[in-house]
Amino acid sequence: MKLYGFGNSRSFRVIWMFQELNVQFEYHKLNPNKGQLEEEFFLKLNPSGKVPVLVDQELILTESAAIITYLGDKYVNHSGKSDIYIPECGTLARANYNQWCFFALCEFEQPLWTMAKHQFSLPQKYQVPEILRTALYEFRMVLNILEQGLSNNNWILGQSFSAADILLAHSLHWAHENNIKFKNKCIDDYYARIIEREGFKKALKYL
C-alpha cells in the first residue's frame, strides 16, 4: 500500500490513520515547491495535482476522508492491533459517524481553509484580506457545534476514538498551529486528549 503526500497537508490525516491502525505503508513524500505534484507520473494518479493519494493495488483514492474510511473498513476488527472505532455500514452509529465526517469537511475545516487561501495559497492578486475576520467568526460558530456534539463525551462518537475524530482534530491542530485560541474548556480538553495519543505523536514524525 502506497501513500503519496507531504506531511503539512491533509496527508497528515491518512498518516495518522495508519499509525492508529498499526498498518505498514510505503510513504512517498513529495515536495510541491519542487514541482513534484505537477510531474507526469503523479498527474496520472491524480489529475488535480493534489495530495493525499492512496494506491492499493488497482485502487487509487484521492480524498483524505475517503481514504481513512476505506482503511478503517478494511482493517478495523481484522488486525486486532487497534482500538480505533469504525461503526459497521448500515447502522445508526455509522450514520452518526458519516454525519461528523461530513461536518468536519464541509463546515469545520472550511473557515480555516478560507483563511489559508487568502493568506498564502491563492495568487496574491486574488487574496482578500478582509475575509479573514468573517472566516474566524465562522470558525467560532462551528466550534460551538463541536462542543455540543462532544457534550460530556471524550470523543465525538462517545467514549470510543474514531476516524471522525481524526478529521476534526486535524483542523483543531491546524487552528492551534496558527495561534487561534479555542476559548472553550471542552474543546481545550478534547484537543489535549488528541495530542496525547500515540498515533498522533507518531504521525508528527512525518512532518
Which cell goes with 195? Answer: 495530542
- Ramachandran assignment for 49, one of left (phi > 0), alpha (psi -120 to 50 degrees), beta (any other): left
Domain ranges of the chain: 2-75, 92-197
Residue 11 is predicted with a pLDDT of 97
Residue 77 is predicted with a pLDDT of 66
Residue 51 is predicted with a pLDDT of 97
Residue 9 is predicted with a pLDDT of 93
Low-confidence ranges of the chain (pLDDT < 70): 77-82
Class of domain 2-75 as given by CATH = alpha beta
Rounded-to-integer distance, Cα 121 and Cα 137, Å:
20
Rounded-to-integer distance, Cα 159 and Cα 181, Å:
25
Residue 7 is predicted with a pLDDT of 77
- Contacts of residue 2, Cβ cutoff 8 Å, sequence gap at least 6: 25, 26, 27, 28, 54, 55, 56
Residue in 140, 145, 199 with CA at minimum distance from that of residue 170? 199
- Cβ atoms of 129 and 118 within 8 Å: the answer is yes
Residue 104 is predicted with a pLDDT of 98
Residue 76 is predicted with a pLDDT of 86
Strands in 1-141 per DSSP E = 2-5, 26-29, 53-56, 59-61
CATH classification number, 92-197, choose in 3.90.550.40, 1.20.140.10, 1.10.3720.10, 1.20.1050.10: 1.20.1050.10
| pTM of the shown model | 0.94
For 111-133, what is each residue's pLDDT tens digit?
Answer: 999 999 999 989 999 999 999 99
